[in-house]
Amino acid sequence: MAQRIRFRKVAALVLVACVGLLTPAGRSLAAHYGYRSLRQGSRGEDVWYLQSLLNRLGYLNVNPTGYYGPLTSRSVRRLQEAFGARPTGVVDGGMLRLTALMIAALEWAENGYTVKPGESLDDISRAFGIPPQVLLKMNGLDESARVLPGDRIKIPVPEFEMYEVRRGDTLSRIAGRYGVSVDDLARWNGLRPPYVIRPGDYIVVVGPFEEKFDGS
């Protein structure tokens, strides 16, 4: 049986990935970091960035040094346990990107979604896949309400699962199991063609969905 872990506490990071609400720091990470796995003994700017993210999440309480030592490894294992992943202490590119997305999500959740010029509640509803009535109720608005640029709108966070890739899996096969599109699955996980995934990787799947496991 495939290992599947449910989360609600950090589900906001998936929502951020879906609608492109990455902070400049998150976009920088996705563009420049994650090209190598980080483990105890690693050194470099990407290690420094990882440590800064761990600090902001409360998993590491020392200043970033750029050296991946025992304290960093212990912090990573705690974070992996929070994600339901095996606590290996090794960070691959996917986990590094997800950690940055979590930071972006925390910033967004604290400040709310800021309405952009030209956006309406209907636009925001379509972008997040949330019925307008839900947005109105969550924000104490009536049906005649209009939003202005700079307004902050509360957005409900979806449930999601993390699927552990098994030998023989492809992104298409995983998408079929959950009844979602390959394009959506790739977007949620920051993947680009040819969509290389490996056994032991974790794939984020956003609900609601119907699982279609074949029992293999």
Q: What is the pLDDT of residues 101-160, one digit of tens each?
A: 666 656 655 667 889 999 998 888 877 667 888 888 888 898 888 899 999 888 765 555
**pLDDT at 79 (0 to 100):** 85
- List, edge to edge, every strand of the sheet that includes 4-7: 4-7, 160-164, 202-206
pTM of the model: 0.55
Radius of gyration in angstroms for the set of CA atoms belonging to the chain, rounded to a whole number: 18
Is residue 123 in some structural domain?
A: yes
Q: Residue 208 has what pLDDT?
A: 56
Total number of domains in the chain = 1
Q: What is the pLDDT of residue 76?
A: 93
In sequence order, the 6+-apart residues with CB closer than 8 A to the CB of 133 are none
Residue pair 49/40 in contact (Cβ under 8 Å)? The answer is no
How far apart are the C-alpha atoms of 68 and 89, rounded to whole Å? Answer: 10
- pLDDT for 20 equals 42
Instruction: Report DSSP letters for 148-214, one per residue.
Output: -TT-EE--PPPPEEEEEP-TT--HHHHHHHHT--HHHHHHHTT--TT----TT-EEEEESS------
How far CA 47 is from CA of 16, 63, 76, 119, 166, in Å, comes to 23, 12, 11, 38, 28
Residue 47 lies in a domain: no
Which pLDDT score, from 0 to 100, does residue 158 have? 54
Which residue range is the domain that position 147 belongs to?
113-153
The pLDDT, as a whole number, for residue 215 is 43
Residue 206 falls inside a structural domain? no
CATH number at residue 135: 3.10.350
Residue 78 lies in a domain: no
Residue 8 within a domain:
no
| Structural contact between residues 168 and 214, judged by C-beta atoms closer than 8 angstroms | no
Residue 97 within a domain: no
According to the model, what pLDDT value does residue 176 have? 92
Taking 70 as the pLDDT cut, the residues of the chain under it are 1-35, 83-84, 93-94, 97-98, 100-111, 128-129, 156-162, 206-216
119: in domain: yes
